[in-house]
């Protein structure tokens, strides 16, 4: 009984510290949805923008977007159909799920400022490296695929399809307040509905790790070095966990003695790789591109993990000592307020996630007809074709 109480106490502490930052990240994600022109992404990731330049743009654009590794796949398929280069798609498919406005906020809340900067920077470097590797080592089909236009429909209420209406006119069709309201709905509806179940599962798992694993276990075996990186890579690659949900798990690892570099390996490999994603990538981009994708993530995750450990050592920093210090600047009353708000918007999504988990299996459960083998259960993955 004492162990169970310890598990929930640890999980509750992590949840209390992160609640306000999670809400802030969700708000940014919602505002990106309604104020960010969906045509911009398609325009700058298309083959016409230059292969290497498109890789760089894809890495930049993917960093703040709140899409999980399965949710980003319909976007990638849409871009592929428009003739986007495999290098840009590879870059986008890595930087997007590995980071995001919500996960960056969670990293700041539960870990430390160094990791908060290192995580999106590492995602950017990995995406660039993988995209260039695909250009250099991949096999070009030598032809462009012509397909449907991108999803340019109005993100506020769908009043315009973006094709038969003048964008210049429609840009001013909705007021700032209407867009803001729609952004709130997207943030606390679509985005949080996708990740709420996974986030609370991550919080609970972090509580279990902190309660059951001896404090010196991780320090003795995963305290740094190449072996630590490879072990965390082996843990992160096959599982499905979104960027935000992976944060409390990584924070628990660090507090139990895992080196920050090894935690970074988990944060990079967990959200971007899983069996489903690799299966779909093989069908969409081909076996060689999928192999380059996986190998690039593995190489850069380990290399950047070792580099991050070197940075902490060079400046005499302790990731364990720095973890959660952001919470010291947040008033206790605000933490509790954030917790109650987060609990209120989570009840429905968590209930549905649990109900889906124990519901009878359907014969076909895919994110999209264009995504063979994608078996995620996210509500909005099934019809999300754009951003």
* pLDDT the model gives residue 300: 96
Report the sign of the C-alpha dihedral through residues 247, 186, 69, 195, in that order. Answer: positive
Over residues 294-322, the pLDDT tens digits come to 999 999 999 999 999 999 999 998 888 77
* pLDDT the model gives residue 61: 83
Contact 372, 220 (CB under 8 A): no
Contact 150, 82 (CB under 8 A): yes
Extents of the domains making up the chain: 2-211+323-382
Over residues 220-258, the pLDDT tens digits come to 777 788 999 999 999 888 877 778 888 898 988 888 889
List the structure tokens of 349: 């999504």
Alpha helix ranges (H) inside the chain:
2-35, 38-45, 51-62, 72-81, 86-98, 101-110, 113-137, 167-170, 176-185, 192-212, 215-221, 226-236, 243-255, 260-272, 275-285, 287-314, 319-322, 332-358
Over residues 351-377, the pLDDT tens digits come to 887 887 777 765 544 444 444 444 454
* pLDDT the model gives residue 38: 58
Place of tokens 């404090």: 215
* pLDDT the model gives residue 289: 85
Separation of alpha carbons 367 and 375, rounded Å = 7
Percent of the chain with pLDDT over 90: 18
* pLDDT the model gives residue 361: 62
- Residue 336 Ramachandran class (φ > 0 left, ψ -120 to 50 alpha, else beta): alpha
* pLDDT the model gives residue 346: 87
């Amino acid at each position: 009984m004492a162990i169970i109480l310890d598990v929930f106490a640890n999980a509750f502490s992590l949840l209390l510290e992160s609640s306000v930052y999670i809400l802030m990240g969700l708000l940014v994600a919602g505002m990106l949805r309604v104020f960010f022109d969906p045509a911009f992404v398609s325009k700058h990731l298309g083959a016409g923008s230059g292969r290497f330049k498109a890789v760089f743009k894809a890495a930049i654009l993917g960093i703040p977007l709140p899409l999980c590794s399965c949710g980003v796949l319909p976007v990638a398929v849409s871009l592929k159909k428009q003739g986007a280069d495999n290098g840009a798609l590879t870059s986008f498919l890595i930087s997007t799920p590995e980071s995001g406005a919500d996960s960056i906020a969670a990293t700041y809340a539960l870990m430390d400022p160094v990791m908060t900067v290192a995580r999106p920077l590492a995602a950017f470097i990995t995406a660039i490296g993988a995209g260039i590797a695909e250009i250099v080592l991949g096999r070009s089909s030598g032809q462009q695929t012509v397909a449907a236009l991108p999803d340019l429909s109005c993100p506020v209420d769908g009043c315009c399809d973006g094709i038969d209406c003048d964008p210049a006119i429609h840009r001013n069709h909705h007021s700032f307040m209407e867009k803001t309201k729609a952004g709130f709905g997207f943030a606390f509806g679509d985005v949080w509905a996708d990740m709420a179940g996974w986030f609370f599962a991550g919080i609970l798992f972090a509580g279990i790790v902190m309660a059951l694993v001896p404090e010196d276990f991780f320090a003795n075996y995963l305290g740094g070095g190449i072996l630590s990186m490879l072990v965390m890579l082996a843990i992160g690659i096959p599982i499905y966990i979104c960027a935000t949900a992976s944060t409390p798990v990584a924070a628990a690892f660090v507090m139990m003695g895992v080196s920050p570099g090894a935690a970074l390996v988990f944060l990079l490999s967990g959200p971007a790789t899983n069996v489903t994603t690799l299966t779909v990538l093989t069908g969409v981009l081909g076996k060689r591109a999928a192999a380059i994708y996986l190998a690039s993530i593995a190489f850069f995750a380990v290399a950047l993990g070792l580099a991050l450990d070197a940075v902490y050592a060079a400046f005499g920093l302790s990731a364990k000592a720095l973890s959660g210090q952001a919470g010291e600047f947040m008033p206790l009353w605000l933490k509790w307020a954030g917790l109650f708000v987060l609990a209120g918007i989570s009840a429905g999504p968590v209930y549905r996630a649990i109900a889906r988990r124990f519901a009878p299996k359907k014969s076909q459960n895919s994110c999209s007809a264009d995504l063979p083998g994608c078996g995620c259960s996210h509500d909005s993955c099934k019809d999300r074709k754009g951003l």
